[in-house]
Structure 1
Amino acid sequence: MKRPTITDIAKEAGVSKGAVSYALNGRPGVSHATRTRILAIAEQLGWGPSSAARALSDGKAGAIGMVIDRPADVLGVEPFFMRLIAGIQNELGSGPTSLLLQVAPDHDTELGIHRRWHAERRVDGVLLVDLRVDDERLDAVTAIGMPAVVLGGPLDRSDLPSAWTDDGAAVGEVLDYLAALGHRRVVHVAGPPEFLHTRVRTEAFVAAARRLDLTEARTVHTDYTDESGASAARRVLVSGEPPTALIFDNDVMAVAALGAVQELGLSVPGDVSFVAWDDSVLCRLVRPALTAVRRPVADYGALAASMLQRLIAGEDVQDAGTTALMLVTRASSGAVPRPGNRR
């Protein structure tokens, strides 16, 4: 159905386009009765101002943007982003601001999208996700004058506030839990090393392992996909000194690795314990149900969206963290197998 225009309203009301413009913009030049009739017809036709026209009139696009640099097929099965977007949308609600979402194949394309959005006044600000180590987007976005909030940190940058979760503390809690169950050989199946949150978790893992004297704890890196999660589990479990516990950086990898363990004739948690990150419905539906770190992902998205809206409004916005993460224990984790009991 064609979007109604001012011309359509003028034709229906039997007045000039100028009269319609006066009425819709609250300007003098038409009588009260005519204004009321024009507004009623505009509502009946479903008319609304275009974002481009609104941007030209008041300097605001009425939208915030987010570019996700992940393959579309990976994004489609990643519960984290669906919950994050839900939180952002909940914060925006039915208000005048909408979310403009785009998937980019690489980092350079993402920067190009940000520059185009700013030049065309498509968005009033952006949310930056999947922060990299030495991320060039930070300076690039601030250089063009685009208001932005980073999901990750804290960064301690006065020009670029960040919303963040305390991943480091959660990693320490997971290792404390596994060590209390007797686990000494623990492998952290992490995401790509270029992501800042991967570095935060990895450094916290190393520090906690050193504190607990877990000399055989180590990290292997993946790309977050189900295939890489299953492949990483196979590799470490057929090694000379296989781990007795695996920590996965997302739930998709953990669920896929359950199948790999069964293929090897092993059991969870009889032979190896599992802990996943980002407790989603996947963790509760599989068997055994997965012990997982629960992050308030929807609240995370809502916090970031709220910060960005306040930043766009000209308020002073500082770094802010979500509520603490929680370790939810389920059937996938247990005491370390006794010597000779492992298959």
Structure 2
Amino acid sequence: MTNETRPTIADVARRAGVSKGLVSFALNGRAGVAADTRERILSVAAEMGWSPSLRARSLSVGRAFACGLVIGRSPDVIAADPFFPTFIAGVEDEFSVSGQVLVLAAATPGRQEAETYRGLVADRRVDGVILSDLRADDPRIDLVASLGTAAVTLGVPDVTSPFTSVSVDDGAGIRLAVDHLADLGHHDIAHVAGPTDMLHGRHRTAAFTHAAAARGIRARVVHTDFSAADGARATNGLLDAADAPTAIVYSNDNMAIAGLGVAQRRGLDVPGDLSITGFDDVELGRHLYPALTSVSTDARGWGAAAARALLAAIGGAEPEQLMLPDPGLIVRASTGAPRDGHSPARPRRASAPDEAPST
């Protein structure tokens, strides 16, 4: 419907036979309107297809009714990473019913990224921002705080922060993967990890190292930029070694899928020669052959929780640390006992063996 044909408050008032002020009070849920009159006004508004003008609403309350998500990664990595579309869908689940708009920007970490945040706030394009991919000693915390805008962080920063955080224990999923592989009889497991400057990459690497040590496993770690191409490079390097691992724990499904392709092109049997686990449990992984064992996270739920927390922060809520449920491990066909298995494979449950969560 165009601006010229969209019904206005004046149109609703004429049809309902009341003043514009009374219509405004009724539509905004304010006191001073009799119940039967409010019901009549709302019925007329619905019948006419009236909807609020976001521009007028913004001007009246001094808000943009928009929130920003600046992703500091290469556009190629963002395009290939299924986490962000699912996370954004969760954000939109909340924003679509609250009248908010999501402003999405990709920026190179550093100066360009800082300028992007400054531009969004200075131009009043957003009322708040979601900070993703937290880094060690992340300068964005102080930057966004100095801009005076509301914010929510995905994860708990390692520096003092005035913002609400919404977190998932990444380490819990990695520990499940290591324990699962150890129970199958693996004693030599590698971890294809994310960048060392990202906190969630560090948390997953630390969880892997500690879990491997607790099970007496020989562990090695290769760091990547989280891309499928770098995951393939890391896999080739590990498999080229004379003492190649019998299992690899990947820090995301994108790299695990690439690693599965590398192994199969080399003529390796998965899981007979090499067991593989991923992280995020993307839909594509369920349809591979063999189907991918993966840490299951609720990216959409995380997005919805972050959106709710940001709306609360915009409304003046006190900052808090919100923890979401721990991820689980979905066991499928890409993991099994090594060929020279030192212990028998753990029996699988009779029902839906390829989908059974391991806890």
Relative to the length of structure 1, the TM-score reads: 0.84
Give ranges in structure 1 of 5+ residues lacking alignment.
Answer: 13-20, 27-39
* Residues 1:161 and 2:164 are matched in the alignment: yes
Deviations 1:60-106 (A, max 9, x none): 11111101122223222211111100111112233211211112233
User: 2:255 maps to what in 1?
Assistant: 253
Deviations 1:312-335 (A, max 9, x none): 101123111111200010000001
The letter of the residue matching 2:286 is R
CA-based RMSD of the aligned residues comes to 3.1
Superposition deviation, residue 169 in structure 1: 1.9
Deviations 1:150-190 (A, max 9, x none): 01126685611110101112222211111111111111101
The letter of the residue matching 1:316 is E
Question: How many positions carry a matched residue from both structures?
Answer: 322
Q: 2:291 aligns with which of 282, 286, 289?
A: 289
Give 1:245-324 correspondences, 5 Å limit: 245-324=247-326
Alignment partners' CA distance in 2, 1:327 and 1:278: 10
**Alignment partner of 1:192: what SS?**
coil
Deviations 1:244-264 (A, max 9, x none): 001111111111111111121
* Residues 1:200 and 2:210 are matched in the alignment: no
Alignment partners' CA distance in 2, 1:62 and 1:23: 24
Give 1:26-175 correspondences, 5 Å limit: 49=53, 51=55, 54-153=57-156, 157=160, 159-175=162-178
The letter of the residue matching 1:172 is R
State whether residues 285 and 292 of structure 2, in contact with CA within 8 Å, keep that contact through their aligned partners in structure 1.
yes
Identity of aligned residues (%): 40
State whether residues 137 and 158 of structure 2, in contact with CA within 8 Å, keep that contact through their aligned partners in structure 1.
no
**Alignment partner of 1:254: what SS?**
helix
State whether residues 133 and 196 of structure 1, in contact with CA within 8 Å, keep that contact through their aligned partners in structure 2.
yes
**Alignment partner of 1:217: what SS?**
strand
Give 1:174-253 correspondences, 5 Å limit: 174-214=177-217, 216-253=218-255
User: 1:33 maps to what in 2?
Assistant: none
Alignment partners' CA distance in 2, 1:298 and 1:272: 31
Alignment partners' CA distance in 1, 2:109 and 2:57: 31
Deviations 1:30-63 (A, max 9, x none): xxxxxxxxxx99x989986454x64443121111
State whether residues 4 and 47 of structure 1, in contact with CA within 8 Å, keep that contact through their aligned partners in structure 2.
no
User: 1:330 maps to what in 2?
Assistant: 332
State whether residues 156 and 319 of structure 1, in contact with CA within 8 Å, keep that contact through their aligned partners in structure 2.
no
Alignment partners' CA distance in 1, 2:170 and 2:5: 50
**Alignment partner of 1:121: what SS?**
coil
Deviations 1:264-323 (A, max 9, x none): 111110100000000010110111000000011111111111111111101123111111
State whether residues 88 and 298 of structure 1, in contact with CA within 8 Å, keep that contact through their aligned partners in structure 2.
yes
**Alignment partner of 2:80: what SS?**
coil
Give ranges in structure 2 of 5+ residues lacking alignment.
Answer: 12-19, 26-43, 342-359
State whether residues 141 and 161 of structure 2, in contact with CA within 8 Å, keep that contact through their aligned partners in structure 1.
no
Quickly say closer, same or farther: Cα 1:44–1:71, change in 2 above 3 A. farther
Deviations 1:133-162 (A, max 9, x none): 111001110111111000112668561111
Relative to the length of structure 2, the TM-score reads: 0.80
**Alignment partner of 1:220: what SS?**
strand
Q: Which moved more, 1:65-74 or 1:260-269?
A: 65-74
State whether residues 66 and 99 of structure 1, in contact with CA within 8 Å, keep that contact through their aligned partners in structure 2.
yes
Alignment partners' CA distance in 1, 2:216 and 2:51: 67
